[in-house]
């Protein structure tokens, strides 16, 4: 096999970074057709299409994302060579692109990513958004993994692989002044105003079913779709929050909040969603392998 043509690779790299063939051609002072020819030659040599067109957009294929990551490393290596010879040492870094549901517990996210966050040569890029946006980005190879608390539907058109990575119990949590004296679960639920997840949450669905089974009427102080906001409302003593303890683990450790009752048969499951790929990001193994379990929620 002939050696890789680095001119072709640089042209591809420039287009991938710009996302537009016309603008890249203008910046490189070459014709658009010449640029297309160089990229086509690279695709022929590699044996894979590197781009797919969506309207006027150029999107990287899976092979394109792999090629782009290698090109980033290669051309960063050139910059590193110059820096080294000029007395400035820079290390190469591997990259993992993570998408996280905007409402997901930050404590959980940090715990899940901790095995990589401690590595000096690894850069973790975290994007937040809705489940639909994140899954679209995963399918477009802009993300390597997506963290959610509800497994997305799987079918032939969208073959997501949902890895259940942790399950957390759900508890009643509030300030010591509000619930420090305790009481039965039923008495607390009927006596205190509650801070609940919104109706779309799997935790809320389970909580409503629990209340129905117990035959109780409760008073809702707030419905919130963001775990960080639930944490703040609990700290401000707006009411008793129905949350997994990991959401408020720092406040529990300091005594600012207390956990009074674990709700029976109610839990929140966290999933790492990936797609089956020919070239998976090797950094994922450190997060998804079985012996990493238990570290995510510490």
CATH number at residue 116: 3.40.190.10
Within 10 Å of residue 225's Cβ, how many Cβ atoms? 15
155 shares its domain with 236: no
Q: Residue 186 sits in which domain range?
A: 168-267
Average pLDDT score over residue span 133-144: 87
User: How many structural domains compose the chain?
Assistant: 3
Residue 124 in any domain: the answer is yes
What is the dihedral angle through the alpha carbons of 295, 108, 201, 180, rounded to the nearest 10 degrees? Answer: 100
Q: Does residue 296 have a pLDDT over 50?
A: no
pLDDT at 153: 83
185 shares its domain with 253: yes
Residue 1 in any domain: the answer is no
Helix intervals (H) in the chain: 6-18, 21-28, 32-46, 62-85, 106-117, 131-139, 176-179, 185-191, 202-214, 227-235, 249-254, 284-288
Provide the β-strand partners of residue 30. none
What is the rounded average pLDDT for all residues in the chain?
Answer: 84
251 shares its domain with 275: no
Q: Does residue 207 have a pLDDT over 90?
A: yes
Length of the chain: 298
Token pair belonging to 280: 């998976």
Of 63-72, 184-193, 281-290, the one with minimum mean pLDDT is: 281-290
What whole-number percentage of the chain has pLDDT above 70?
90
Q: Note whether 102 and 109 are within 8 A (CB).
A: no
173 shares its domain with 260: yes
73 shares its domain with 108: no
Q: How far apart are CA 66 and CA 183, in angstroms?
A: 57
Residue 199 in any domain: the answer is yes
Residue 107 in any domain: the answer is yes
């Amino acid at each position: 096999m002939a050696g890789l043509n680095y001119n072709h690779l640089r042209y591809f790299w420039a287009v991938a970074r710009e996302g537009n063939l016309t603008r890249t051609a203008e910046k490189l002072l070459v014709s658009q057709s010449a640029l297309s020819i160089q990229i086509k030659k690279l695709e022929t040599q590699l044996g894979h299409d590197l781009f797919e067109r969506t309207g006027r957009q150029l999107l990287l294929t899976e092979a394109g994302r792999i090629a782009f990551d290698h090109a980033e490393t290669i051309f960063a290596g050139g910059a590193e060579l110059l820096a080294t010879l000029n007395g400035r040492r820079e290390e190469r870094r591997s990259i993992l692109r993570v998408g996280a549901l905007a409402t997901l517990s930050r404590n959980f996210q940090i715990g899940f990513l901790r095995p990589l966050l401690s590595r000096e040569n690894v850069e973790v890029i975290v994007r937040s958004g809705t489940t639909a946006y994140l899954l679209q980005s995963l399918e477009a190879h802009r993300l390597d993994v997506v963290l959610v608390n509800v497994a997305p539907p799987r079918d032939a058109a969208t073959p997501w692989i949902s890895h259940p990575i942790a399950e957390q119990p759900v508890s009643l949590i509030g300030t010591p002044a509000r619930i420090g004296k305790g009481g039965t679960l039923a008495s607390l639920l009927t006596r205190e105003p509650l801070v609940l997840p919104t109706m779309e949450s799997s935790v809320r669905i389970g909580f409503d079913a629990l209340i129905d089974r117990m035959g109780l009427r409760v008073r809702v102080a707030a419905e919130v779709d963001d775990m960080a906001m639930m944490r703040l409302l609990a700290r401000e003593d707006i009411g008793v929050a129905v949350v997994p303890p990991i959401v408020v683990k720092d406040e529990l450790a300091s005594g600012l909040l207390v956990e009074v009752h674990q709700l029976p048969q109610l839990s929140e499951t966290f999933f790492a969603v990936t797609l089956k790929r020919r070239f998976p990001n090797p950094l994922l193994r450190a997060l998804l392998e079985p012996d990493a379990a238990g570290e995510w929620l510490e």
